[in-house]
C-alpha cells in the first residue's frame, strides 16, 4: 500500500536573504530600462 504523507511537517527555518543579494537586485532593477515601441519590447541594462 502507498505511504501517505499527511503527517504534520516540521517547522521550516526562516530563510533571510543576504545583504549582498538585496543590493544586487536593487542595483539591477535601477539599471534596467524597458522601452515599448509598437508591438516590440526592448530591454536595456545600463551598467
pLDDT in tens, 15-34: 999 999 999 999 999 999 99
SS (H, E, C) the chain: CCCCCCCCCCCCCCCCCCHHHHHHHHHHHHHEEEEEECCEEEEEECC
What sign does the CA torsion over 12, 18, 19, 24 have? negative
Nearest-angstrom CA–CA distance, 6 and 9: 8
- The answer to whether the pTM exceeds 0.85 is no
Nearest-angstrom CA–CA distance, 17 and 36: 32
| pLDDT score for 24 | 94
Amino acid at each position: 500500500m502507498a505511504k501517505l504523507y499527511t503527517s504534520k511537517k516540521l517547522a521550516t527555518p526562516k530563510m533571510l536573504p543576504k545583504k549582498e543579494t538585496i543590493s544586487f537586485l536593487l542595483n539591477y532593477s535601477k539599471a534596467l530600462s524597458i522601452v515599448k515601441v509598437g508591438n516590440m519590447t526592448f530591454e536595456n541594462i545600463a551598467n
